């Protein structure tokens, strides 16, 4: 009997039961984590969020610099995307963008709270 991944078949009713077994508790746990964060955003001072956003943006910019360092060494300053980067630098590139996007979203939240 072959144990290749391509030989596996999961009936649709089993997949739905798997979702019920693991998906719904995972959603409940995530809601339990994010609801107190939303309560914190409504009740606390926005200066803390501003500093967190500033730190996340700074860290993202630094990570982006180190991710693109192989391009800078080749004097290729106007390349877009991580397609030609080594594997580690490509992961660092996407992590940097994750921090930058989180920073922008936090700055947006601060702006909406102050407005």
Domain co-membership, 58 together with 100: yes
Instruction: Kindly tell me if the per-residue pLDDT of 56 is higher than 80.
Output: yes
Q: Name the residue with higher pLDDT: 85 or 62.
A: 62
Number of domains in the chain: 2
Instruction: Assess if residue 1 is contained within a domain.
Output: no
Write down the pLDDT at residue 2: 56
Distance CA 89, CA 57 (A): 18
Instruction: Kindly tell me if the per-residue pLDDT of 43 is higher than 70.
Output: no
Rounded mean pLDDT of 54-75? 90
**Alpha-carbon distance values, 106 to 35, 58, 97, 112 (Å):** 16, 13, 14, 10
- Locus of tokens 């964060």: 37
Write down the pLDDT at residue 41: 67
Instruction: Assess if residue 4 is contained within a domain.
Output: no
Domain co-membership, 80 together with 36: no
Distance CA 84, CA 47 (A): 39
Domain that holds residue 23: 10-43
Rounded mean pLDDT of 12-31? 80
Instruction: Kindly tell me if the per-residue pLDDT of 59 is higher than 90.
Output: yes
């Amino acid at each position: 009997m072959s144990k290749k991944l391509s030989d596996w078949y999961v009936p649709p009713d089993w997949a739905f039961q798997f979702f019920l077994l693991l998906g719904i508790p995972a959603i409940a746990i995530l809601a339990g984590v994010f609801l107190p964060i939303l309560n914190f955003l409504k009740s606390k001072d926005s200066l803390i969020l501003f500093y967190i956003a500033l730190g996340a943006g700074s860290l993202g910019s630094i990570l982006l610099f180190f991710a693109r360092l192989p391009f800078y060494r080749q004097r290729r300053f106007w390349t877009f995307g991580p397609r030609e980067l080594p594997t580690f630098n490509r992961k660092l590139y996407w992590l940097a963008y994750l921090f930058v996007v989180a920073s922008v979203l936090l700055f947006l939240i601060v702006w909406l709270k102050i407005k």
